[in-house]
Amino acid sequence: MIDLSRSKDAGQDIHKDTWRLFYRHVLEVLTESDDFIRDRSAAKGKMRFSMTENPAQTLIMADDFMTIAFPPDLPVEFGRLNTRENILTLARHFWRSSARVAGVHDLCMDIQDCLAWVNRHVVLQPGVESYPVTGGDKDAFNPLTERPAEGGMDNMKKNMLTTWAKNFFNRLKDTERKIFFYYDCEGLTHKAVSELMKKKANLSYQRDKIRDTLKSFLMELNWVSPEYETNEQDGRAFEFFILSLCDNLGSWVNFAEKG
pLDDT (tens digit per residue) in 39-52: 765 445 467 788 87
What's the pLDDT band for 216 if we cut at 50, 70, 90? confident
The Cα–Cα gap between 247 and 80 comes to 44
pLDDT (tens digit per residue) in 60-77: 666 677 678 888 888 888
The reported pLDDT for the residue numbered 12 is 44
The reported pLDDT for the residue numbered 149 is 42
Phi/psi at 22 (5° precision): -65, -40
pTM: 0.44
Of all residues in the chain, the percent with pLDDT exceeding 90 is 13
- DSSP letter string, the chain: -HHHHTSTT--HHHHT-HHHHHHHHHHHHHHH-SS-EEEE-TTT--EEEESSSS-B-----HHHHTTSPPPTTS--SHHHH-SHHHHHHHHHHHHHHHHHHHT-S-B-EEHHHHHHHHTTTS--STTSPPPPEETTTEE---TTSSPPPSSPPPHHHHHHHHHHHHHHHHHS-HHHHHHHIIIIIS---HHHHHHHHT--SSHHHHHHHHHHHHHHHGGG-TTT-TT---TT--HHHHHHHHHHHHHHHHHHHHHHHH-
The reported pLDDT for the residue numbered 176 is 93
Which of 41-45, 56-60, 217-221 has the least mean pLDDT?
A: 41-45
The reported pLDDT for the residue numbered 153 is 64
| pLDDT above 80: residue 209 | yes
Phi/psi at 235 (5° precision): -60, -20
The reported pLDDT for the residue numbered 58 is 63
| pLDDT above 90: residue 232 | no
pLDDT (tens digit per residue) in 102-144: 777 778 888 888 888 888 778 775 433 333 333 333 344 444 4
Residue with the bigger pLDDT between 163 and 123: it is: 163
